[in-house]
Amino acid sequence: MSSSSAVASNDLAATTASIAEAIDAAIEAGDLSGIADSTIQQLMTAAARLYAASAEQGGYLPATRPGALNATQGMIVTTALLRAVNVQLFELGLWQSWAK
C-alpha cells in the first residue's frame, strides 16, 4: 500500500468511527429526526458499494462483526436492499446456487 493509500485508509477509518459513534448516539437517544433520508441512503449506498468491491477483489468478508446486528435488523436491511435492486428472494437463492 502506498503512503497516500495508507493515509486515505486511515482517514476513512477515523471518519467511519466518528460516523458510527454519531449514529449510535442518535439511535440510543431515540431521535432520528435530525438525520435526512438522503443521508441514510447515501451511507447505505456507499457501504454497499464498498462491501461489493471488496468482495469482488478479495473473496469472503463477513458483512458485520458477530453480534453487531440482531436478526430483525439484518432482515430489514436485506429486504430493503433486495427491493432497491428489484430482486426477488427466489432470484437471490438462484444466484447463490450458481455462485457455489
pLDDT for res 36: 96
Report the number of distinct structural domains present in the chain.
Answer: 1
Residue whose C-alpha is closest to residue 44's, from 12, 62, 19: 19
pLDDT for res 98: 85
- Give a yes or no: residue 42 inside a domain: no
Burial class of residue 86, CB neighbours in 10 A (0-12, 13-18, 19+): exposed
Q: What is the pTM of this model?
A: 0.79
- Give a yes or no: residue 76 inside a domain: yes
Q: How long, in residues, is the chain?
A: 100
- Give a yes or no: residue 84 inside a domain: yes
d(CA 44, CA 63): 13
The residue type found at 76 is: I
The residue type found at 68 is: A
pLDDT for res 7: 64
Q: What is the CA radius of gyration of the chain?
A: 16
Q: Residue 88 sits in which domain range?
A: 69-100
Helices 71-84 + 37-58 axis angle, to 10: 90
pLDDT for res 61: 87
pLDDT for res 95: 86
**Residue the block writes with cell 469472503:** 60
- Give a yes or no: residue 96 inside a domain: yes
pLDDT for res 4: 64
From the first residue on, what is the mean pLDDT of each consecutive set of 10 residues in the chain (100 residues)? Answer: 67 93 95 94 95 88 93 95 93 84
